[in-house]
Structure 1
Amino acid sequence: ASLPALADDGTVEDIGHGSLFSAAATNDVSGQATKSTRHSDLDPDHFVQNVRLDVTESLDGESDSNGKAADFARHIDLVIECVPEQVSIKKRTLRKLAEEFPPPTILCSNSSYFVPSLLGEFVKARTHFAHLHFHVPVLRSSVVDVSPHADTDPQVVRLLSDLVERIGHEPLVLSNEHPGYIFNWLLQSVLSAALQLRAADIASPEMIDQSWKSVTGMPIGPFGIMDQIGLDVIEQVLQNAKWSDHQAASVAQLLEIIRPLVDGGKLGTKTGAGFYSYHPPKSDPPASD
């Protein structure tokens, strides 16, 4: 199947009602790089009862936060699914979107945790499906995760990466799919460790956050971060772990990364090289008499 241009005169449709949708609807993020961005703030349970989408009829470039349901597939270059992080809702939503927006439209999920090979099972044109994950707040973030799966057309990845660059962000294209992409997986490790310390009654949330803030110099700790994300979202992420078949790397695999550097004398900043190279500043010339 052919691919859309995703050029400056393209059209993007956001389907959902979560935090990404709110940011996009308020700031018209996609509209920075496309002719028209429409936001269909649809309740998922109501949305999936409709056989046809009710997309706004106007193509005047204005955001329509009251997007209703009509077939507008021929005008849509990219559809981004932003419904809540529940497999059942995403399954029903993606199936309807796949029916209404066949190729050349590119269909993406903004899922924060699920991998594209899982959600890709719910769409027909898997070559035109990938994950395009924005971090919240959208306008303050500088990176967007682009995660294809085994069947994604490489040109789709290129088009999505180009779009991300045009809206002023940096695309991070994953070599292999992974739950939570990069940052969310790193963050999940920190938040999980904080919850484990609390579950073991090692320290209070306040003490755990104080330790984190004092040592790292960051203004907020793990429990404060969870409050900002929303504890209902944290609960959902923990429940979604059952959908992941990700196998953690063994200690031996981790050592395979570290040991060659150590054996080569690259111990980090103290030797001037580690994962990165460090060039110590030149010493100041001696003062003249």
Structure 2
Amino acid sequence: MQNLTVLGTGVLGSQIIFQAAYSGKDVVAYDVSEEALEKLPARWEYLKPLYLRDLPDATPEKLDAAVARIRPTADLADALADADLVIEAVPERLDIKQQTWERVGELAPERTIFATNSSTLLPSDIAPFSGRPEKFLALHFANEVWAKNTGEVMGHEGTSPEAFEAVAQFAEEIGMVPIRIHREQPGYVLNSLLVPFLGAAAKLLVRGVASPADIDRTWKIATGAPAGPFEIYDIVGMMTPYQLNKDSADPEMRAFAELVKTEYIDQGKLGKGAGRGFYDYES
């Protein structure tokens, strides 16, 4: 599968786009927002030094060649016209994903395989809306995909073995380590472990137990981990925990979502990629 279309150019969507292009794929970057597409060149300039820092084989020439393989568009039909694989990275809301895939299923070529990068939603809840559930599954990336390079591949009962293996092979071709998930699990492996951990940190903050820096410091010193939970929140970006928790049944997690919105999102502190989140990266 040489021709990839990525739906959504946010933090993770843009990383998937760049990593696939860096690995030699031809990538169409689709977003409904022209403003978001206009920001992509700056995003590539942000990612280039990170590749040079973290990947021994990265060179300025290879990074420039990756950018040359990326074509942005706000026209969905144009984005899908020659797609072998579509990876969706739109906001983490079931209704938005279902509506997106309904449109994609009407426009994409018959051969195209569909993959959602959803962090928490199940493929079986989205697949029927695509019109071709046998070619629908999930391919989940960890943030900072070039370095934290797992690719969790998870189908549903109706996913064909051929589509499943094709996506696992694609993940390997773009430098991921394919993790084959044998049955549907909200959160796959990674987020089934990570989300409760981040939720515990959020509750410590909401309860006023300790500051983000001290919560992180405790975890890092006591376990030897390279990053604490609020550093991870900054890497993920503020929009994801806000969307996931604003309608939570847990009042403390709703309070955390409101804190994230008022004290961070509304102040332009969107996470590490924006220069500020729980920590200030600009200085």
Q: TM-score, normalised by structure 1?
A: 0.67
Post-superposition CA distance 1:30-71 (Å, at most 9, x none): 56254x221123339xxxxxxxxxxxxxxxx83212453445
Does the CA contact (< 8 Å) of 1:31 and 1:37 recur in 2?
Answer: no
Does the CA contact (< 8 Å) of 1:212 and 1:218 recur in 2?
Answer: yes
Cα distance in structure 1, aligned partners of 2:78 and 2:239:
34
Q: CA deviation at 1:120?
A: 1.5
Match of 1:13 in 2: 5
1:117 is matched by which residue type in structure 2? S
Does the CA contact (< 8 Å) of 2:85 and 2:112 recur in 1?
Answer: yes
C-alpha spacing 1:28/1:67, structure 2 compared with 1 (3 Å): farther
Match of 1:29 in 2: 20
Cα distance in structure 2, aligned partners of 1:240 and 1:122:
24
User: Where do residues 19-168 of structure 1 align in structure 2 (5 Å cutoff)?
Assistant: 19-25=11-17, 27=18, 29-30=20-21, 32-34=23-25, 36-43=26-33, 62-66=69-73, 68-70=75-77, 75-168=82-175
Post-superposition CA distance 1:172-193 (Å, at most 9, x none): 1111111221112211111111
Q: CA deviation at 1:232?
A: 2.6
Cα distance in structure 2, aligned partners of 1:204 and 1:72:
44
Q: Secondary structure at the match of 1:65?
A: strand
Q: Secondary structure at the match of 2:156?
A: coil
Match of 2:239 in 1: 232
C-alpha spacing 1:73/1:199, structure 2 compared with 1 (3 Å): closer
Q: Secondary structure at the match of 1:193?
A: helix
Does the CA contact (< 8 Å) of 1:131 and 1:146 recur in 2?
Answer: yes
Q: CA deviation at 1:201?
A: 3.7
2:147 is matched by which residue type in structure 1? R
Q: CA deviation at 1:102?
A: 4.9
Q: Secondary structure at the match of 1:140?
A: coil
Cα distance in structure 2, aligned partners of 1:126 and 1:106:
10
1:129 is matched by which residue type in structure 2? F
Give yes or no for the alignment of 1:222 onto 2:225.
no
Match of 1:169 in 2: 176
Match of 2:42 in 1: none
Can you give the 5+ residue segments of structure 1 that lack an aligned partner in the other structure?
1-5, 45-60, 243-289
Match of 2:272 in 1: none
Does the CA contact (< 8 Å) of 1:102 and 1:125 recur in 2?
Answer: no
Post-superposition CA distance 1:163-221 (Å, at most 9, x none): 11112211111111112211122111111111223344433333322211111122432
Identity of aligned residues (%): 32
C-alpha spacing 1:216/1:28, structure 2 compared with 1 (3 Å): closer
Q: Secondary structure at the match of 1:84?
A: coil
Larger relative helix fraction: 2
Does the CA contact (< 8 Å) of 1:81 and 1:109 recur in 2?
Answer: yes
Does the CA contact (< 8 Å) of 2:171 and 2:178 recur in 1?
Answer: yes
Q: Secondary structure at the match of 1:133?
A: strand
Can you give the 5+ residue segments of structure 2 that lack an aligned partner in the other structure?
35-67, 250-283
Cα distance in structure 2, aligned partners of 1:42 and 1:124:
22
Alpha-carbon RMSD: 2.5
Cα distance in structure 1, aligned partners of 2:199 and 2:180:
25
Q: TM-score, normalised by structure 2?
A: 0.69
Q: Count residues with an aligned counterpart.
A: 217
Cα distance in structure 2, aligned partners of 1:94 and 1:23:
21
C-alpha spacing 1:206/1:28, structure 2 compared with 1 (3 Å): closer
Q: CA deviation at 1:111?
A: 0.9
Cα distance in structure 2, aligned partners of 1:200 and 1:126:
43
Larger Rg: 1
C-alpha spacing 1:129/1:30, structure 2 compared with 1 (3 Å): farther
